[in-house]
Structure 1
Amino acid sequence: MFNRLSKCIKKLGNKKKTTIKDIANVLGITPSAVSRALNNHPRISEKTKIAVKQVAENLNYQPNHLASALRKGKSNLVGVIIPRNNSNFFSSVLENIEEVLNKKGYNIIITQSNESYKKECSSIEALLYTQVDGVIASMANETVDLSYYEKIKSKGIPLILFDRGENDLNVDYVGIDDYLTSHMIVEHLLDQGCKRIAHIAGYSKTRIYKNRIRGYNDALEKHGLPIEKDLIIESNLRLNDGRRVMQELLNLNERPDAVYAAGDYAALGALQVLEEQGIKVPEEIALVGFSNEPFTSFVKPSISTIDQKSALIGKLAAEAFLERVNNPKVKASLNKIIVDAELIIRDSSNKKE
């Protein structure tokens, strides 16, 4: 066997990848016997299994998981699509999805869209090619056309949406009630004595930001306050967006006495501009963000924000997938799981302290 192994290693010198057939040639057995030995088949002797695994290791054999998935109809891989990974919210969701799925024998493949529809479509194509058993996703800001997500559904692959998702897809969803949460923020600012509240919004074509704008508007109307279009500015909610929009708001003839940003990074950008302009927070302008990023408790003044319960959302999204994959023939009603968000009041909006 040693001579055959030496010859095979030399022969493989210019070859890219070792195959099951190469291992079979070394041992003088059939490729099917090698395959069964690698998969710990009960009809293969322990002696053969040990020999096969030793030769596989010597030849640096790497199993072809895609081919295996095609044969078995199951890859034990779950694709997870997130808009970006530089967010504590999405990092926490990922961590908890992985924790739940790992315990059930699944691994996850993480892709990020960077808020790009084109990149999101490319990720979906790659995940489908990899034969994933399911997809758990939060949509990009740019996504309006749902055809790629419909493609996942058409293949019978479980699709779970979290945080951002569209009702038109009719799939399981896990997230908070963005309308009520936005309403709660405005109520808090009004309770602090604010009367002219601006909203640094996300793009309204995305459902969650549309609902946050709606909650903001309805809360103002409930208290008899006018909805002023120049106080609602949509953006990507990045730090530079917060800086730019805050400057626009300060340039108004009548500046706001409070700002509600639909993302913490935008809130941080707004806070930077207020500090640079010497405007006191919250005395002159109160500020509330959204997502409870770690920095919100460290900056001065600390930023009031919304805790979206990311760990719970991750666990529930993973469990929703497991429920679907374990009961494929059961056409259960769609799961729309709404998690209670929490308003964390800190220095940036606490005027009554």
Structure 2
Amino acid sequence: MKKKTTIYDIAAKLGLTAATVSRALNNNVKISLNTRKLVLETALEMNYEQNKLALALKSGKSYNVGVIVPRIDSNFFSSVIRGIEEELYPKGYHVIICQTHNQENLEIEKINSLLNVQVDGILMSISNANLENDKGFNKLIRNKRTPLIFFDRKKNIKGVSSVTVDDFKGGYEATKHLIEQGCRRIAHLSNDRKFEIFNNRFLGYKKALSDNGIEFDESLVIETQSNVLDGRRAARLLLDMETPPDAIFSSSDFAALGAIQEIKESGFNIPEDMCVVGFSNEPFTRFMELTTITTVDQFPLDMGRKAAQVFLEEVGNTEDTKTTQNIVLTPELIVRRSSSKKWKD
């Protein structure tokens, strides 16, 4: 069996002490950046693997971080996870990914499972709008040794940090853009407004209408799930109206895609007869043949990195008090063929 490389082997090769190598591998700021880089490069060349169990026993940390998302089969959440991993992996952390499939019982089960394996922190996007009423969740909140960071979907809980996007602004800008295209009867495909993100997109939509002298019509708001089939269902309801809308702002790219499919199959043209705007900037929105989809970019990679940075600050804080951070990223409207009547291919 091949002998495993130790810190003593690295030290001997570089002419350093084992203590210096150990500190460098643990990113100790007392060791110069050049030395840390040299040690890390040499460790990689020599196939050195840190003993995580020994490290955990010494530091009191597991170097595992839990990430809970409603689903991972979307570009948004997979990009957030990528951002988290890119930020944490160089610091020696491993990420345990859990998905809840938007089921409340699974969400609580995942929280308890992560606490049982003694993760150093939990970063999560909630599936349960009433989460703070659950005993398991309250156990997590009381556990001051395990930082909790919300991203995207959050609850406003004292002492819990969050990283979100300005959903109100995103909804406002999307609706304002449709108005600028000459649309006046604008429908909104909402999602469960018990969640703050979807309610804020709805409120942004309403405010843009009000600011532009357009009366809000409740019949033009249809609650949908974030999937293609529900987008088609909602579009069918709107098309069957005596006076169909001339535009749709959807809180989801997937529902927007379904709406576009239904509108086209019904013989209408996009954007000439009806404009459509989605939300999230999923990859398919820019690769659609003939009709690329206007959408709101939430910058999920940045969201993941910021959430990880907040965790690192909190886990590194040795004081009893910590500063709660509520970071709000600025969204960007990306105009494409589905909403621009002056679009040039």
In structure 1, the partner of 2:110 is 123
Moved more, 231-240 or 195-204: 231-240
Contact 1:201-1:237 within 8 A present in 2 as well = no
State the one-letter code of the partner of 2:253.
D
Structure-2 separation of matches of 1:182 and 1:90:
20
State the one-letter code of the partner of 1:116.
Q
| Deviations 1:215-262, CA, capped at 9 Å, x for gaps | 111111111211111111112221111011111111111100000110
In structure 1, the partner of 2:222 is 233
State the one-letter code of the partner of 1:260.
F
RMSD of aligned Cα (Å): 2.3
TM superposition outliers: structure 1 runs of 4+ over 3 Å: 67-73
Structure-1 separation of matches of 2:300 and 2:171:
17
In structure 1, the partner of 2:186 is 197
> For 1:117-156, what aligned pairs fall within 5 Å after superposition?
117-140=104-127, 142-146=128-132, 147=134, 148-156=136-144
In structure 2, the partner of 1:305 is 295
> For 1:130-279, what aligned pairs fall within 5 Å after superposition?
130-140=117-127, 142-146=128-132, 147=134, 148-156=136-144, 157-279=146-268
- Unmatched segments (≥5 aa) in structure 1: 1-37, 43-62
Contact 1:116-1:143 within 8 A present in 2 as well = no
Structure-1 separation of matches of 2:324 and 2:247:
39
In structure 1, the partner of 2:46 is none
Residue 349 of structure 1: how far off its partner (Å): 0.3
TM-score, normalisation: structure 2: 0.81
Structure-2 separation of matches of 1:293 and 1:253:
32
Pair member with larger Rg: 1
In structure 1, the partner of 2:34 is none
Residue 169 of structure 1: how far off its partner (Å): 4.7
State the one-letter code of the partner of 1:339.
L
In structure 2, the partner of 1:86 is 73
State the one-letter code of the partner of 2:195.
T
- Unmatched segments (≥5 aa) in structure 2: 9-50
TM-score, normalisation: structure 1: 0.79
Residue 71 of structure 1: how far off its partner (Å): 8.5
Contact 1:263-1:289 within 8 A present in 2 as well = yes
In structure 1, the partner of 2:29 is none
State the one-letter code of the partner of 1:152.
L
1:167 match: secondary structure: coil
Structure-2 separation of matches of 1:191 and 1:322:
43
| Deviations 1:49-75, CA, capped at 9 Å, x for gaps | xxxxxxxxxxxxxx996x996886311
Contact 1:69-1:131 within 8 A present in 2 as well = no
2:157 match: secondary structure: helix
Structure-1 separation of matches of 2:110 and 2:52:
20
Structure-2 separation of matches of 1:244 and 1:181:
24
Structure-2 separation of matches of 1:214 and 1:297:
26
Given the superposition, is the C-alpha separation of residues 125 and 69 from structure 1 closer, same or farther in structure 2, using an over 3 Å criterion? farther
Residue 296 of structure 1: how far off its partner (Å): 0.4
Contact 1:301-1:348 within 8 A present in 2 as well = yes
In structure 2, the partner of 1:47 is none
| Deviations 1:163-210, CA, capped at 9 Å, x for gaps | 110113541111111111101111100000000000001100001001
> For 1:278-293, what aligned pairs fall within 5 Å after superposition?
278-293=267-282
> For 1:22-41, what aligned pairs fall within 5 Å after superposition?
none
State the one-letter code of the partner of 2:317.
N
- In the alignment of these two chains, the number of paired residues is 295
Residue 119 of structure 1: how far off its partner (Å): 0.8
In structure 2, the partner of 1:315 is 305
| Deviations 1:113-151, CA, capped at 9 Å, x for gaps | 1111111111101100110000000111x4323234332
| Deviations 1:268-314, CA, capped at 9 Å, x for gaps | 11111011111100000000001111100111300000111111111
> For 1:70-81, what aligned pairs fall within 5 Å after superposition?
73-81=60-68
Contact 2:245-2:274 within 8 A present in 1 as well = yes
> For 1:16-27, what aligned pairs fall within 5 Å after superposition?
none
State the one-letter code of the partner of 2:341.
K
Residue 329 of structure 1: how far off its partner (Å): 1.2
Contact 1:138-1:163 within 8 A present in 2 as well = yes
Structure-1 separation of matches of 2:195 and 2:297:
20
